[in-house]
Amino acid sequence: MSEAHDPTGRQAPRDPANPLRGSRTSRFWLALVALIVILLLLIIFVAQNTRQVQLSFLGWDWHPPLAVALLVSVVGGLAISATVGTLRLLQVHRRVRRTR
C-alpha cells in the first residue's frame, strides 16, 4: 500500500493524483441538485395547500393561501436566525481581533 492510501484502502481526498477527488465544481453541482429538489418539494407544497386562511396581526387582517402564510413565517424565522447568527459572528470576530 502506498502513502496516498488511508487504512481503509481508499485514497486520501487531498491527493492531487486522484481523478475522483472533490472539487468546487462538484460541490456546487451537489448544492444545485439539492436546491432543485428543495424547490420541487416547495412547488408541490404550495400546489397542495391553496386553501385560504384568515390571519390577524396588530389589527391587520389578511386572507392568504395557507402555503403562502407558512412560507412567510418560515422566511421570517430564517431572517431572525440569520440576524442573530450574524451578530454573534461579528461579536466573536471582534473578540478575536482584540486578543491579537
Q: Compute mean pLDDT per 10 residues along the chain, 100 residues long, and list them.
A: 54 64 79 90 86 88 88 90 94 90
β strands within the chain, DSSP E: 55-57, 60-62
Is there a single domain that holds both residue 40 and residue 62? no
Residue linked to cell 468546487: 24
Same domain, 34 and 57: no
Q: How many domains does the chain have?
A: 2
Task: Specify the pairing of strand 55-57 against strand 60-62.
Answer: antiparallel
Which pLDDT value is given to residue 48? 87
**Predicted local confidence at residue 42, as pLDDT:** 87
* 12 in Cβ contact with 5 (< 8 Å): yes
Is 33 in the same domain as 60? no
Is 55 in contact with 63 (CB distance < 8 Å)? yes
41 and 4 within one domain: yes
Count of all residues that appear for the chain in the document: 100
99 and 59 co-located in one domain: yes
Is the domain of 40 the same as that of 6? yes
Structural domain that includes position 64: 52-100
Burial class (CB in 10 A: 0-12, 13-18, 19+), 90: exposed
pTM for the whole structure: 0.57
pLDDT on residue 7: 58
Say what the pLDDT of residue 34 is.
92
Same domain for 18 and 41? yes
Residues 74 and 99 in one domain: yes
Q: Are residues 83 and 59 in the same domain?
A: yes
